[in-house]
A and B are shown apart, each in its own frame.
Chain A
Amino acid sequence: MSDVTKLSASEIAALIADGSVSAVEVADRYLDKIAAEDGDVHAFLHIDADGARAAAAAVDAARAAGEELGPLAGVPVAVKDVMATKGVPTTAASKILEGWLPPYDATVVERLKAAGTVILGKTNMDEFAMGSSTEYSAYGPTRNPWDLDRIPGGSSGGSAAAVAAGLAPLSIGTDTGGSIRQPGAVTGTVGSKPTYGGTSRYGLIAFSSSLDTPGPFARNVLDAALLHEVIAGHDRRDSTSIPQPVPPVVEAAREGARGDLSGMRIGVVREFGTTEGAEPGVIAAYQSGVDALVKLGAEVVEVSCPHFSYALPAYYLISPSECSSNLARFDGVRYGLRVGDDGQRSLEEVMALTREAGFGAEVKRRIILGTYALSSGYVDEYYGQAQKVRTLINRDFTAAFEQVDALVSPTTPFVAFPFGSRTGDPVQMYLADLYTIPSNLYGGPAISVPCGLSEGLPVGMQVMAPTMRDDVMYKVAAAFETTQAALVAPAR
């Protein structure tokens, strides 16, 4: 039997379907590998070995009974710890939720279970998904399998590292400003942010409600599309979920894999060309990537998106504003941590002590920023102005997509950086999401695909498409993938 930890999700599913390997054997192999190697990587916060084996056994039983299996039945998946999992610890990598056992499953988790995937456990992340390195996890950082002294990106760094290290063939992340694509880029994995509202937020512990989007990580574009199809689709429990059929993403990925983009127009954003602080190696790898698109038959043109330069400041007003309200519920009254309840202190004191002890510095920074941006007398100047910028960015995208089918850019300006190199200056950290934030503000789909190496570390190419044209994005990404040698993190 080949080593299932080196196979793609679709290959694993095929082996299970034809009986070459049982789902339980696959799950055990991954659980063993996690036990052996996650001590170094620290991709996981919680391993659910019993749950995984039970889910795998159910798939094997269904197969034995002659039931038809879904395309990912029996395939292991790791889930970011920001998604509620019934009866399984869910902390969002925060001390304030230590010990919380959700009484319900997130819609994405429900759909993973219904599809017969095998949930291995919960992955590490920046606390409440705020960060680009997992250094803000309250439970210690995840290390990049390419270089254990470097960050795996964030906030979904655990999900990215798990796939890159072969600890899971698939994983779920969430993307608010780049939290799937940026870790995807720096770990050499495929990370996809679906259209906002294309995947349900029900059960996703909210950071910024108008931006948060669950999406897949995988080793290749087709696997990402297969996982996308499993978790996407309208959900009545999420009012912002789009009541339309899922775009034909798997079909588009298969079509793209034929390596022909003739007839497609692809735009490069002029304003991204002058980014300060972008590493030359990253830009060089990206330029080769653009050349490869031309060789695939695409017409590559430059488009202007003049308001993209305001995206980062607008994002750092809107997302903290929403987070300041979303995180108000963590007060020690109903669940999670409670500090200082000695029968003497007042309710307000206990709430304040709980929040003081339970939240990390970056979370506090954003709560304070957002509270300020929404406060009386400033709300129009900050939150209000940022919403106007968001409208202008939407117009930039709309105008661009009148000229081109998709946009491309580097995913992030720099490769994985060493631990501690950007934590001292929040703005340096925030720059990691410079290229990814615009499509969050717009709501359209965007994906990061491996695009060569710079100084031995992975670079990502971002493909952005119009809202609910996730299929276009997958087609371009899959075609581009045919021009790239597979990136595999050095074995340990």
Chain B
Amino acid sequence: MSTSTLPSYDDVVSRYEPVIGLETHVELGTRTKMFCGCRTEFGADPNTQVCPVCLGLPGSLPVANAAAIEATIRIGLALNCDIAEWCRFARKNYFYPDMPKNFQTSQYDEPLCGEGYLDIEVPGADGPIPFRIPIERVHLEEDTGKSLHVGGSTGRIHGATESLVDYNRAGIPLVEIVTKPVAGTGALAPEVARAYVAELRDVIRSLGVSDVRMEQGSLRCDVNLSLNKPGAEWGTRSETKNVNSLRSVERAVRSEMLRQASILDDGGRIVQETRHFHEDSGDTTSGRSKETATDYRYFPEPDLTPIAPDPAWVAELKAAMPELPRVHRKRLQADWKLSDHDMASVINAGAIPLIERTIAAGASSESARKWWLGELSRRANETGTELAELPITPAQVAELQSLVDGGKVTDKIARTVIEGVLAGEGGPAEVVAARGLEVVSDTGALTAAIDDAIAANPAVAEKIRGGNHAAAGVLIGAVMKATRGQADAKAVRELVIARLS
């Protein structure tokens, strides 16, 4: 389909209502796998973190990882879910070479966590717009291995001459979080989807149960979308798999809205199918059709005993929950006295923890925010890195601010100090010392520089003597130049005027 046939986004949302649904998989950061004692480190050599159990060798048996069950319950509690008092694992049967047993140990009609919700916000012209995303269920399962298809043009199994499988990932605990269908988001659907995934990521990170890194696949998202005419029944949905960045979530929703609208406009029918999202083009293409759906033949996993979390233990977990990101942000916004707009900037820059740690190291909230959102954001943008990845610590930023506050460096020189720190020349104090950036406050040296400037600019000096203080700029500039910028311009100005009064 060529893009020229697509209607405009505004046109689409004026005529159709989208319904979105999100299935998110989170790899838990447990030390060992879901059903065996194998390690879970990312990036190990292929097939080095495997054993008879996660390879599904004949005779091997699973034993459930208690830490994974606890982490899943905590995620459920953070999402306001009901926690099951009794539930079981189930086998999901289908053949695929990256699944060692040709069934996945998962949960079916008895998930660990039942209905709940997650409150999110998207920016609007008149302040943030709140949405409550209903959660259908949160369940625990095992991840599959990873297939690598060699020799084909597409990297997919079709057309490949050889397929390689790495089972290191097989059996890593995976939590699946499924929303109910979300209607009523209208033109904001792509942003709502993105905001939900971002909030979910932050919530899970705050619990410390996963590193939730989309680029490494520890958080993966499937986006379901359908369109319907206002007042009509919901349409047939497509399921777009493996949408692996926040930006892609937003793009995938938008792309599917345009594609489906174009088909519906032509009187066509949406096929219920799996689609693949392409990061490069932002498009989706058809995968396998669900009309010939696999029958997974779910049944309770006979190798595992039921899970029956003690309600008293669940209550303890609930009481020990950390402050969730939304509450935390509200508190910070009040503490830092920020407008919704300024807070949104802080959040978008991913600067909350950096600012918090800078404040903890002694800086004021205002100065901490100023450095991270100002000079440091600019540097991050220039180099295309994340703010948190800049080679400067919050403690160093606080140290820099204390140098400014103590009059050791000027605000302007501080930027040069940052440059030195980022270049790896050491901490702020070391950079100041090494580069000789300390403010020239020695009155003798300043007086000599001022006298030189007056001598070199007699006409200007005469104007100042005549009461034209605005003319002092020229002399100040000359002094600053002579001191290589290390004098405090305000002090120089006062000294010049005093000398010529």
A positions within 8 Å CB-CB of B: 83-84, 90, 92, 97, 100, 102-104, 106, 201-206, 208-210, 236-240, 321-322, 324-325, 328-331, 333-335, 343, 347-348, 351, 371, 374-376, 379, 383
Contacts and interface: CB of A to CB of B under 8 A. Distances in A.
Contacts of B157: 347
B70 to A, nearest CB: 17
A334 B303 contact: no
Given A102-B59, A237-B61, A328 B93 contact: yes
Contact of A90 (B58, B60, B103, B303): B58
Interface stretch (B49-57, B391-399, B452-460): B49-57
Contacts of B97: 331, 333, 347
A240 B64 CA distance: 11
B299 interface: yes
B103 A321 contact: no
Nearest to B161: A343
Interface string B101-116: 1110000000000000
Contacts of A325: 91, 93, 103, 297, 299
Q: Is the interface of A mostly helix, strand, loop or mixed?
A: loop
B61 A238 contact: yes
Contacts of A83: 59
A236 B304 CA distance: 12
Given A325-B299, A331-B95, A84 B59 contact: yes
B58 A376 contact: no
A343 B64 CA distance: 39
B302 A210 contact: yes
Chain B: interface residue count, which band? 20 to 34
Chain A CB within 10 A, most for which of B91, B100, B101, B297: B297
Contacts, number: 102
A321 B59 contact: no
Interface in B79-109: 91, 93, 95, 97, 100-103
A329 B58 contact: yes
Contacts of B165: 333
B62 interface: yes
Contact of A374 (B59, B95, B297): B297
Interface of B: 52, 55-64, 91, 93, 95, 97, 100-103, 157, 161, 163, 165, 295, 297-299, 302-305
Nearest to B157: A347
A324 B58 CA distance: 14
Given A329-B102, A347-B163, A348-B95, A239 B61 contact: yes
19 contacts: A84-B59, A97-B58, A103-B57, A104-B52, A104-B57, A237-B61, A239-B61, A240-B305, A324-B93, A325-B91, A328-B103, A329-B100, A333-B165, A334-B56, A343-B161, A371-B297, A375-B297, A379-B297, A379-B299
Nearest to A376: B295
Top 6 nearest A-B pairs (CB, nearest first) are A328-B102, A209-B302, A374-B297, A210-B302, A203-B59, A205-B58
Contacts of B302: 208-210, 240, 322
Contacts of A240: 302-305
Given A348-B95, A375-B297, A376-B295, A328 B57 contact: no
Contacts of A106: 59
Contacts of B299: 321-322, 325, 374, 379, 383
A102 B57 CA distance: 8
Contact of A334 (B59, B100, B103, B295): B100
B63 A239 contact: yes
A202 B61 contact: yes
A330 B58 CA distance: 9
A195 to B, nearest CB: 15
B91 A100 contact: no
Contact of A335 (B57, B93, B95, B102): B57
A84 B305 contact: no
A206 B59 contact: yes
A85 to B, nearest CB: 10
Given A104-B57, A202-B59, A328-B93, 18 more contacts: A84-B57, A102-B52, A103-B52, A206-B59, A236-B63, A239-B62, A239-B63, A239-B303, A240-B302, A240-B303, A324-B297, A328-B102, A329-B100, A334-B57, A335-B58, A374-B93, A374-B298, A379-B298
A237 B63 contact: yes
A380 to B, nearest CB: 11
Contact of B101 (A236, A238, A328, A374): A328
Nearest to B304: A239
Contacts of B102: 328-329, 331
Contacts of A202: 59-61
Contacts of A383: 299
